[in-house]
Chain A
Amino acid sequence: MRPKRLSTRLGIAVGLMGVIVVLLIIAFTYFEIGRQLDIRARGSLSEKLNQIEHGLLESYSAKSEVILTPHILNDYVIGHDYLALIVRDAEHPGAPILSVGNEAALKVFSDIAKYTSGYEEYFPPTGYAILGMNKMIRLADGNDIVVTLLLERESDAALLKSYIKSTFLSLPLILILVGGCGWWLVRHGLSPLYKFSAIAARISAHDLDHRIDFTTFPEELKNSAHAINFMLERLDRDIQKLLQFSDDLAHELRSPLNNILGKVQVTLSRARTPEIYKQALESCAEELDRISQVISQMLFIVSANSPTLSSTLASVNLREEVVKVVDLFLDEAQEKNISLEVVGDAHTKADSLMMQRAIYNLLSNAIRHSSSRSIISLELSENKDYAIIAVRNSGEGIAAEHMTRIFDRFYRVPSSRSRQLVGTGLGLSIVRAIMDLHEGMVTVASIPGESTVFTLFFPKDI
């Protein structure tokens, strides 16, 4: 089973990794030490053998002398109880002339009765490895004798053994130490994450003010913290908008509802002629029509804001759509002595109903705010990214202080607050919602007292 905590998990992993690394190092040093010991053992063996050869040639001139006075040779091995020396007649290798020294080494001698010139290593079933070397020496009397020097490698084995023993004893300690350090480091490194959850626990729709203080965070977490703060910022803004939205909606509906209620109550307060009742009903119907328009427009804006709306995109000839909408306003424009002109041409993919609606709202505003005997021009053009519709009218224009707010819901330029003039106050919000849905944009430029131009940019690669 995996431990639940990340720090424990990483601590264990780091500890195990440490152990593996240590094991590898132990294995490597073990073999390296063994190799070095081997080289040294061979070196000393061959050096010793050379000394013996030298002494042998100096002290003895015949085989018989060796048999009679072996003590000179004995001296070479006495005091070195890991060495054994065997001297044989080359013609009778089975029967040694002399054999002294380490007993364990002498025991395996029978196996090396034959003569070889190099090093030989023997591993008796019990005890330590034995390294051996033969050398044939011709004495002054012409007889050949074979000198065999054996070395019991007890001390080397003991060294390696104690090395292994001590390192293996230290392994659990290393595991605990490395693992513990890993665990502590991870825990310490992750401690900023606790701040994330602390903030998350405090956030709710009513309380989005908390932000993560990431000044002390490491770089990697700074980015996440920043992203989360940014997300909170946007949520906060959107929720503020929603609150504003429902406030506005309630406010906008309150006054027509009040009109209806008032009218009905006043009418019912005494007996009236059928004509008066009829008028009251008609007035109510008009107010109600307004309310239902506000509601359907608000729903349109909300649904256009949600990305789930599957919008029906098709190839659109902008000029056809513009002309269709312009058709609606021809009579009205004529009565105000305004002429409408459509210039240019453009094509793109769009939802044609929504496009008509956007053009409709802009044109309706343009006619409302145009001075009489003026021209409203609808200019179509396209560049490589956008199909563009510009609606230009001359008239009172929009003062700079209203520019940023005219796309807000229910925002009406205060000077023209009479409702008769300004409709629901949602027209431009709808335009912007439509452009957002098309991933396009709407811009406005105005010279107060002279002219205003609204421009719709429909992207071509939608």
Chain B
Amino acid sequence: MRILLIEDEVKTADYMRQGLTESGYVVDVSNNGVNGCHLALTYNYDAIILDINLPEMEGWDVLKKIREHKEAGIIIVSARGRLEEKVRGLDLGADDYIVKPFQFPELLARIKTLIRRTDSSPLSPDVLVVDDLQLDQGRHRAVRAGKRIDLTAKEFTLLHFLMRHAGEVLTRTQIVSTVWDINFDCDTNVVEVAIRRLRAKIDDPFDRKLIHTLRGVGYVLESRE
């Protein structure tokens, strides 16, 4: 998967390139609009991440020009968060609009969604498996190491979300949005409490822990040796 990052601020470009590369993407970085536009039109990218405040050529113009010739998914990343600007971005053909400061895992998730949208990947299987933990969506039950685990509806939704994105870091905002359908930033510790309760059921009785906390970032479910 190849991603073009058009961002003039060196530090931002730097950490984004690192983060994206470590997540398995091939990343080209351009630090101005003209060059970025040229790259976007020359090569085929799966996704383009575009800043709006750019030297030489404004992000809006870059966006227009790319859209005239290419179908690649475009995510705008901008410090301008006003509604009119978001609408303008989407009207000009961007697929997504993220306001700085953003949580990096959220950007990853959105890139993934974008590539899946343009790509159409298979639906998630009925039974999710991570290590010795199985989640059967059809029968609505979880089994670890052959032991049946009783989950509440919320716990099931949470576990399902974590397992579907096994290995990915999920932020609290993402979890609250998906599991509780609350779509504004809130400083809730509902996720901590819910994760604690879920751990008590699926991790505490076992030696190998599957749910890991990344302080300051979020949570990830994966089997670590």
Chains A and B are bound partners: yes
A94: min CB distance to chain B, Å: 107
Decide: A309 and B81 in contact? CB cutoff 8 A: no
B26, chain A: closest CB distance, angstroms: 26
- Out of A288, A295, A360, which one reaches B186, CB within 8 Å? A360
Give Cα A282 to B183, complex, Å. 25
Whether A324 contacts B193 by the Cβ 8 Å rule is no
Query: Which chain A residues in 314-365 approach chain B with CB under 8 Å?
Result: 324-325, 327-329, 331-332, 335, 353, 356-357, 360, 364
Contact B182 A325 (CB under 8 A): yes
- Measured CB to CB, the closest approach of chain A to B151, in angstroms, equals 14
Measured in the bound complex, the distance between the Cα atoms of B183 and A284 in whole Å is 25
Q: How far is the CA of A281 from the CA of B217 in the complex (A)?
A: 10
A335 to chain B, nearest CB (A): 7
Pair B83/A353 contact, Cβ less than 8 Å: no
Nearest CB in chain A: distance from B212 CB, A? 13
Q: Smallest distance from the beta carbon of B154 to chain A beta carbons, Å?
A: 8
Residues on B with C-beta less than 8 A from A324 are 180-182
B194 at the interface (CB under 8 A from A): yes
Say yes or no: is A46 at the interface (Cβ < 8 Å to chain B).
no
A286 to B217, CA, bound (A): 8
Query: Contact at B180–A332, with CB atoms within 8 Å?
Result: no
User: Is A283 part of the contact surface with B, judged by Cβ < 8 Å?
Assistant: yes
The chain A residue with its CB closest to the CB of B171 is A289
- Number of chain B residues close to chain A: CB under 8 A: 23
Report the Cα distance A289→B81, complex, angstroms. Answer: 17
B185/A293 in contact, CB under 8 A = yes
Interface residues of B in 70-96 (CB under 8 A from A): 81-83
Picked from A288, A303, A310, A327, the residue with its CB within 8 Å of the CB of B180 is A327
CB distance from A419 to the nearest CB of B (A): 11
Indicate which residue in B81, B184, B188, B194 contacts A364 across the interface (CB closer than 8 Å): B188
Shortest B106–chain A CB gap in Å is 12
Contact with A286, one of B183, B193, B216 (Cβ below 8 angstroms): B216
Please tell me if the beta carbons of B216 and A289 are within 8 angstroms of each other in the complex.
Answer: yes
A-facing residues in B179-209 (Cβ within 8 Å): 180-190, 193-194, 197
- Whether B184 contacts A309 by the Cβ 8 Å rule is no
Query: Shortest beta-carbon distance, A445 to chain B, in Å?
Result: 25
Given A423-B187, A424-B187, A292 contacting B101 (CB threshold 8 A): yes
When C-beta atoms are compared, the residue in chain B nearest to A354 turns out to be B184
Residues of A within 8 A of B101 (CB): 288, 292, 295
Q: Is the CB of B215 within 8 A of A328?
A: no
Contact B180 A309 (CB under 8 A): no
B193 adjacent to A335 (CB under 8 Å): yes
Quote the shortest CB–CB distance from A437 to chain B (angstroms): 13
Whether, in the assembled complex, A177 has its beta carbon less than 8 Å from a beta carbon of chain B, the answer is no
Q: A285-B216, A332-B190 are in contact. Are A353 and B197 (CB under 8 A)?
A: no
Does B176 make an interface contact (CB < 8 A)?
A: yes
Sort chain A's interface into a size bin: 20 to 34
**Is the CB–CB distance between A285 and B182 below 8 Å?**
no
A69: CB under 8 A from chain B? no
Q: What is the bound-complex CA distance between A292 and B197, given in angstroms?
A: 28
In the complex with contacts A286-B216, A310-B83, A328-B187 CB distance below 8 A:
no
A353 near B181 (CB under 8 angstroms)? Answer: no
Q: A187 CA to B8 CA in the complex, in Å?
A: 62
Q: Check: A296 CB closer than 8 A to any chain B CB.
A: yes
Q: A327 to chain B: which residues have CB within 8 Å?
A: 154, 180
Q: Contact at B176–A328, with CB atoms within 8 Å?
A: yes
Q: Decide if B216 touches A328 in the complex (CB within 8 Å).
A: no
User: Could you tell me if B216 and A353 are in contact, using CB atoms closer than 8 angstroms?
Assistant: no
Tell me if B183 and A353 are in contact (CB < 8 A). yes
Q: Is the CB of B83 within 8 A of A309?
A: yes
* Cα of A284 to Cα of B215 in the assembled complex, Å: 10
A303 to B80, CA, bound (A): 13
CA distance A293 to B172 in the complex (A): 13
A310-B83, A335-B193, A424-B187 given; A284·B181 CB < 8 A: no
Cross-chain contact of B182 among A286, A328, A332 (Cβ < 8 A):
A328
Known: A289-B216, A328-B180, A331-B193. A296 touches B185 (CB 8 A): yes
The 8 Å CB contact of A282, one of B184, B197, B215, is B215
- Tell me if A356 and B215 are in contact (CB < 8 A): no
- Residue of B187, B188, B194 contacting most chain A CB atoms (<10 Å): B187
> Do A283 and B216 have beta carbons less than 8 Å apart?
yes
B215 lies within 8 A of A285 (CB): yes
Distance between Cα atoms of A288 and B185 in the complex (Å): 15
Which residues in A have their C-beta under 8 angstroms from that of B180?
324, 327-328
Query: Min CB distance, A57 to chain B, in Å?
Result: 112
A356, B216: Cβ atoms closer than 8 Å: no
Contact A281 B216 (CB under 8 A): yes
Question: Is A257 on the interface with B (CB-CB < 8 A)?
Answer: no
Q: Report chain B residues within 8 Å CB of A285.
A: 215-217
| Closest B residue to A287 using CB positions | B216
- Can you give 25 A-B contacts (C-beta < 8 A)? A281-B216, A283-B215, A285-B215, A285-B216, A286-B216, A288-B216, A296-B81, A296-B185, A297-B185, A324-B182, A327-B154, A327-B180, A328-B180, A328-B182, A328-B186, A329-B188, A331-B194, A331-B197, A332-B189, A356-B182, A357-B184, A357-B186, A360-B186, A423-B187, A424-B187
Contacts A284-B216, A332-B190, A357-B186 given; 6 further ones with Cβ under 8 A?
A285-B216, A296-B185, A328-B182, A328-B186, A364-B186, A423-B187
Ranked 9 nearest A-B pairs via Cβ: A285-B216, A282-B215, A331-B193, A292-B101, A282-B216, A328-B190, A286-B216, A357-B184, A332-B193
